[in-house]
A and B are shown apart, each in its own frame.
Chain A
Amino acid sequence: MHSVLSLLLAHGVGGRSDLPISEWIAAWSGAIALLLSFAALGLLWHHPKFPQALIGRLVPTPKFLTQIFLLLVRAIAMTLFLVVLTACFFGPDNTVSNIAPTTIFIIFWVGMPLSAAVLGPYWKVISPWENLGKWIDRIRPNSESVAPKWLTSGWLALVPITVFHWLELAYHHGSSPRVLGWCILIYTVLLLLMTWRWGWEETRKIEGFGVLFSLAAAISPIFVDQKNKLRIRYPFVGISSLRMTPASVAVVLAALGGTAFDGVSRTDWWLDLIVGKTGASWTLVNTLGLAWVSLIIGLAYHQASRIGSRLTSDKNFAYKLGGSLIPIFLGYDIAHYFSLLLLEGQAFKILLSDPYGQGWDIFNTASHAINWTVISTTTIGWIQIGSIVGGHLLGVLFAHDRSVELWSARTALRSQYPMLVVMVIYTIIGLVLMTG
């Protein structure tokens, strides 16, 4: 007998956290690792090494087969999108037995950035909005209207990310399939209307998920060059190719902030604060918490960048080094959600066999159960520490490489002090949060 919750689950989906890892020791070792690596970089790494590694090498791909493959992948993704969207409205109205919440909060939100970091910019191939947008581009009348500044600046990309976080972490009905359905529908329609008016090239800039996933994909060894050819290079160096804008830095910071709040909301302190709160008051407290944590994360970076700007007299400091936030975000993401993806994510396989709750068993997986012991808690703990520390180390590494490229060795080193402080703070916060 299984009884399902039709109401909220505290964190989008999933009510299982990992065991706390060993407290402050982790935080201190992380901070020390950062400081040591910073010192080592300052002593040994005087010339930028990433830019020349950007070119990579060509991967020969048979044209015909590639096209068939892409078409197939696109068709599958589009079908899944439509299934999830319709299941939102016509499937069972509860978080666990409807396929939508699991797909959206786990497979999409956790799975996409992590897999993009490995497999490259494949979201562009499968994104329903990308595909619909390009299709609208083909049929829309040629219009002369120039896209307005609010669209092209890309700042609006913050909206989908923020709304998503709010649904996931703050709103008490955020994981209800019906609510999710309406959000997807409204978002899709708005994007398509803007595409109709100004074209997909411009509208893409505010498709926040696409923006975030393509930033994550920069870490991947796989990439596509300007001639649309598939190439490979060393993993991670691709960050150097990104031209971050203030808006895209803000998107990564927002994503980071939400993940950090997810950590905060699992602490004993927060649980005691929130216990007994329901409905609107639950939403209110969480909204404030989400805004507060995001603000701290954002302000810390902003402040460090301001100091950095003065030290280097470069007013674009904040986004020239913004790429270092990407591995940090991915590190946080792995630490917080990797076990969710691996464990609760199994529900996707089960639900896929019966997406509308009709008793179907399309893939013969409907009767499977989640195996909670596929990975030991010790392994999870190590992965958590490793990903947070590793993410920050990569962030420091990139920031250093970029700064010796931009400035003289002395200025470069000096410019890194404020960044280092922020990284150490982020690392300690990140690791302390994992200890719950």
Chain B
Amino acid sequence: MQKLRKGVLKNMKKIFLGLTFSVLISCSSDIAEEVSPTSMAADQDETHETHETHETHETHETHETHETHETHETHETHETHETHDHDHDHDHDHDHENSLDVSQLADPPMVFISGVETETGEVSLNFSVENLELVPVNPPSEHKSGEGHLHLYVNGASIAMLHETTYTVTDLAKGSHSFRVTISTNDHREYSVDGEVIADSFSLEVHGGEEAQDSDSQIDVEVEGGTVVGGIQRLKAKIGDQVRITVSSDVEDEFHLHAYDLTLQISPNEPATLIFEADIPGVFEGELHDAGYQILSLEVS
């Protein structure tokens, strides 16, 4: 019996040694840090520098309030799914999958965006394209050179696919908002030139709109120096809550919230915000697309 006990003890020791050892190693394993594929930083926002820089338009200054709230827009993201290709992909290995490089064209397509605030506190956007014919997204069609549609992002969140040259963004809160447009092929690949997605963007201070109100559940996640400030962030919400997630990073990246399937484009040091209604219960991982690690855990119950 004594022998027996000894045997157990000996093995327990091994187990705990193994445990401690692996924890130690894992803590110090930063040494093995690989050169990660996050160096795509200055990818797409440079394309629009080739033409006019935008002035902030401040034509109207009305202060009407709005009934409907902001969740509206982000929710459009739920409608289309899975099979669509990508907005824009920085991983150059995969460029041929999610973007279409048209550098070889003499007159590559171009896109411009401008907008003004209306009297009702909405933002009326105008797009113009060159060397591209805008065709409807539905019904889906094959890629055809010279055809495509627009992808519109507000504050980094994708909100619409368009073939019209005007669009009105409603329900914006008071404050600064950024608007960005890219052009996409019929099969949802981003047109790009020299590896950079063809895009244009500008920011606008909205004076109307409702006061930015507190969401039921909100969190700011700050990514710096390749990790999350203060460790992985956790947010708890109740079903039906309005959730606000703000992500800022010192490098460009894309934030993705699983299952809800929401994404945010993050430019360096420019916080991007996702506002949505928590309608799926569970624990969800929010992770950075390019850096490739989880930064947020959202628990909805």
Contact = CB atoms under 8 A, between A and B. Distances in A.
A276 B293 contact: yes
B83 A367 contact: yes
B93 A93 contact: yes
Contact of B232 (A16, A275, A357): A275
B23 to A, nearest CB: 8
Nearest to B285: A15
B283 A303 contact: no
Interface of B: 4, 7-8, 11, 14-15, 18-19, 22-23, 25-27, 29-36, 38, 76-87, 89, 91, 93-94, 97-98, 140, 142, 151, 158-161, 187, 226-228, 231-232, 234, 254, 256, 258-259, 261, 263, 280-285, 287, 289-295, 297, 299, 301
A317 B89 CA distance: 56
Nearest to B32: A281
Interface string A301-345: 001001100100000000000000000000000000000000100
Interface of A: 1-10, 14-20, 92-94, 96-97, 172, 268, 271-282, 284-285, 288-289, 291-292, 295-296, 299, 303, 306-307, 310, 343, 347, 350-351, 353-354, 357, 359, 366-370, 372-373, 376-377, 436
Contact of B281 (A19, A93, A275, A281): A19
Contact of B158 (A1, A351, A357, A436): A1
Contacts of B234: 268
Contacts of B32: 280-281, 284
Contacts of A18: 282-283
A299 B14 contact: yes
B285 A275 contact: no
Contact of B259 (A16, A92, A296, A307): A16
Determine the main DSSP class of B at the interface with A.
mixed
Contact of A366 (B83, B86, B232): B83
Contacts of B292: 7-8, 172, 278-279, 282
Given A1-B87, A2-B81, A292 B22 contact: yes
Nearest to B186: A359
Contacts of B89: 6
A15 B258 contact: yes
11 contacts: A1-B76, A4-B82, A6-B86, A7-B292, A94-B94, A97-B82, A271-B297, A278-B36, A280-B33, A350-B83, A369-B78
A279 B36 contact: yes
Contacts of A370: 81-82, 259
A166 B184 CA distance: 37
A2 B82 CA distance: 6
Looking at B93, B158, B232, the one whose CB has the most chain A CB atoms below 10 A away is B232
Contacts of B293: 274-278, 282
B33 A279 contact: yes
A303 B29 contact: no
B284 A15 contact: yes
A271 to B, nearest CB: 5
A275 B227 contact: yes
- Rank and list the top 9 A-B pairs by shortest CB-CB distance, nearest first: A276-B227, A15-B258, A279-B34, A15-B285, A1-B158, A3-B263, A280-B34, A17-B283, A285-B26
